[in-house]
């Protein structure tokens, strides 16, 4: 009899990871539930209870210190640099598919699995693993996984990639999974109440407080209460009474100035993306046409990817895009294939010959 393939499933306490573990066990894998304690807060439902319900072994890793250094510190420092961070991508890259994968391999596991809605496949022509969008386009999460490398992808299983969220709930109901009606949290796991400004205020000193609000002409319009209160594209809460509303255009950290503009000035024709990780190929050698998502909820837009030096690329949009936000991820697609992605460094508005938020 052949030896069962050992899979470590990251169990969060939610429906998706529980159903992922159930499906793998049903297929004959040797499944172990792994709970990653990343913060002091408790999950909505006990991962241990889910492991007992599924009758699978349970292991807990206390990664609070590592998570603080890799994810929370990144989150805080990004705001201090005038960026808008995406900690879930960093967590996937460095914690779930980084440290967890390393620990799992040392423990003798062949794969790790999560409840992400994404797919992968082996492409014989390129001899590379490809990251694909999930079947469920509303729950699709490949955007958060663009930073994974070939080694990580080779040891990953996503059991929910070919399923819709509705089907996953049906499976959970069919096996009487406990607490199936728990409301899914849309908040960051380390900011349970969702108030990131209150969270940041505990870490950021008053030196980063009040500064000047100016328009793109340099004219004084008011005072801001700390640059980390704001993000590019923000309209509400700026504190400038005006018949035609202002939007946040850029955060000038060096001068502690908040730059605001009318909506039409927030459209960027190009952007620079740094720390690029390509999955479908090793390196961008020539211009490539792609669909680019500039934030998770962005529907995607046609653009040309142009190679630069120092692991950067230029993205030229077919049509100018609103609210390009430095610090956010830009992810590139060809149909369902995720080509890769990187981090937005600069927004470029050719119409007003302006480059903003250059991250040096």
What is the secondary structure of 48-114 as a DSSP string? HHHHHHHT--EEEEE-HHHHIIIIIHHHHHHHHTT----HHHHHIIIIIIIIHHHHHHHTT-SEEE-
How is residue 143 written in tokens? 């955007």
Whether 70 and 166 map to the same domain: the answer is yes
**Who's near 189: CB < 8 A, 6+ residues apart?**
38, 39, 41
Question: Does 257 lie in the same domain as 270?
Answer: no
CB atoms within 10 A of CB 278: 20
Helices of type H across the chain? 15-26, 47-54, 64-67, 73-80, 87-91, 100-106, 150-154, 165-174, 196-201
Per-residue pLDDT tens digits of the chain, which is 360 residues long: 378 999 999 998 889 999 999 999 999 999 999 999 999 887 667 888 999 999 999 999 999 999 999 999 999 999 999 999 999 999 999 999 999 999 999 999 999 999 999 999 999 999 999 999 999 999 999 999 999 999 999 999 999 999 999 999 999 999 999 876 666 666 788 997 788 988 998 888 765 688 999 999 999 999 998 999 999 999 999 988 877 799 999 999 999 999 999 999 999 999 999 999 999 999 999 999 999 999 999 999 999 999 999 999 999 999 999 999 999 999 999 999 999 999 999 999 876 555 555 553
The answer to whether residue 119 is domain-embedded is yes
Question: Which sign, positive or negative, has the C-alpha torsion 135, 136, 138, 140?
Answer: negative
- Residue 80 maps to a domain: yes
Same domain, yes or no: 255 and 295: no
Residue-number span of the structural domain to which 229 is assigned: 206-261
> For residue 187, is it within any domain?
no
Q: Give me the catalytic one of 88, 121, 189, 338.
A: 189
- For residue 218, CA distances in Å to 234, 254, 346 come to 19, 15, 20
When divided into structural domains, the chain yields a total of 3
88 in active site: no
Inside any domain, residue 179 = no
Which of 88, 91, 121, 338 is the catalytic position? 91
| pTM for the structure as a whole | 0.93
Residues 134 and 253 both lie in one domain? no
Confirm whether 121 is a catalytic residue.
no
| 111-113/6-10 β-pairing | parallel
User: Do residues 81 and 135 make contact, with C-beta atoms less than 8 angstroms apart?
Assistant: no
Distance separating alpha carbons of residues 186 and 44, to the nearest angstrom = 13
User: Residue 115 falls within a domain, yes or no?
Assistant: yes
Helix (H) or strand (E) holding 34: strand 30-37
């Amino acid at each position: 009899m052949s030896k069962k393939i050992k899979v470590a499933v990251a169990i969060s306490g939610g429906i998706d990871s529980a159903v992922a573990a159930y499906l793998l066990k049903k297929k004959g894998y040797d499944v172990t539930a792994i709970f990653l304690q990343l913060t002091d807060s408790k999950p909505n439902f006990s991962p241990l209870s889910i492991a007992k319900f599924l009758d699978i072994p349970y292991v807990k890793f206390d990664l609070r210190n590592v998570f603080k250094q890799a994810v929370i510190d990144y989150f805080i420092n990004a705001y201090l640099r005038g960026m808008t961070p995406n900690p879930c991508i960093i967590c996937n890259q460095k914690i779930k598919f980084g440290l967890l994968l390393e620990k799992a391999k040392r423990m003798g596991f062949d794969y790790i699995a999560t409840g992400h809605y994404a797919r992968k496949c082996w492409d014989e022509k390129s001899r590379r693993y490809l990251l694909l969008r999930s079947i469920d386009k509303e729950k699709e999460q490949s955007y958060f996984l663009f930073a994974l490398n070939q080694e990580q992808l080779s040891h990953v299983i996503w059991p929910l990639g070919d399923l819709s969220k509705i089907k996953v709930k049906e499976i959970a109901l069919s096996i009487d999974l406990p607490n199936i009606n728990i409301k899914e949290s849309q908040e960051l796991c380390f900011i349970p109440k969702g108030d990131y400004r209150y969270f940041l205020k505990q870490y950021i000193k008053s030196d980063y407080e009040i500064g000047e609000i100016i328009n793109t002409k340099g004219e004084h319009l008011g005072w801001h209460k700390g640059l980390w209160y704001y993000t590019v594209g923000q309209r509400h809460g700026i504190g400038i009474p005006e018949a035609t509303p202002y939007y946040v255009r850029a955060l000038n950290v060096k001068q502690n100035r908040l730059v605001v503009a009318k909506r039409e000035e927030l459209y960027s024709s190009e952007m620079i993306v740094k720390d690029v990780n390509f999955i479908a190929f090793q390196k961008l050698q020539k211009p490539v046409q792609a669909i680019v998502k500039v934030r998770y909820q962005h529907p995607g837009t046609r653009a040309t990817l142009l190679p630069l030096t120092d692991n950067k690329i230029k993205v030229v949009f077919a049509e100018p895009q609103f609210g390009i936000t430095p610090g956010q991820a830009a992810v590139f697609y060809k149909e369902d294939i995720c080509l890769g992605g990187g981090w937005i460094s600069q927004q470029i508005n050719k119409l007003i010959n302006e480059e903003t938020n250059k991250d040096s």
